[in-house]
Amino acid sequence: RGAALMLPRLPPGIRDLIADRGYDSARFREALISRGITPCIPSTRSRKRSIPHDALLYRQRHRIEIMFGRLKDWRRIAMRYDRCAHTFFAAITLAATVIFWLGQ
């Protein structure tokens, strides 16, 4: 449900969307394809017929996971001290800016 809510908010011009097996659903894939986005999602093991994906593109997902790990090094973000969504987003923005600026 969460991913479907974010589809209208995606910026224009996206060609591919990389996601893990948790986002493998026919409805989500159809919604991506209808927007002109190629899904790069491996099939779940319970699927009877696996859907092929671009393995080379999927390997780039580690960059996103590394960034989440770096953000969780900031205790304020990992523990979600901020109750308001806009304050929490501001903390994430600040942490991402510092991480980028330090070049970690």
pLDDT digits (tens, 9 = 90+) for 45-57: 888 888 888 888 9
The predicted structure's pLDDT at residue 104: 61
pLDDT digits (tens, 9 = 90+) for 71-94: 999 998 999 888 888 999 999 999
In the chain, the N- to C-terminal Cα span, in Å, equals 33
Domain ranges of the chain: 2-58, 61-102
List pLDDT tens digits, range 20-65: 888 888 899 999 999 999 999 998 888 888 888 888 898 888 888 8
Query: 24: helix, coil or strand?
Result: coil
What per-residue confidence (pLDDT) applies to 60?
87
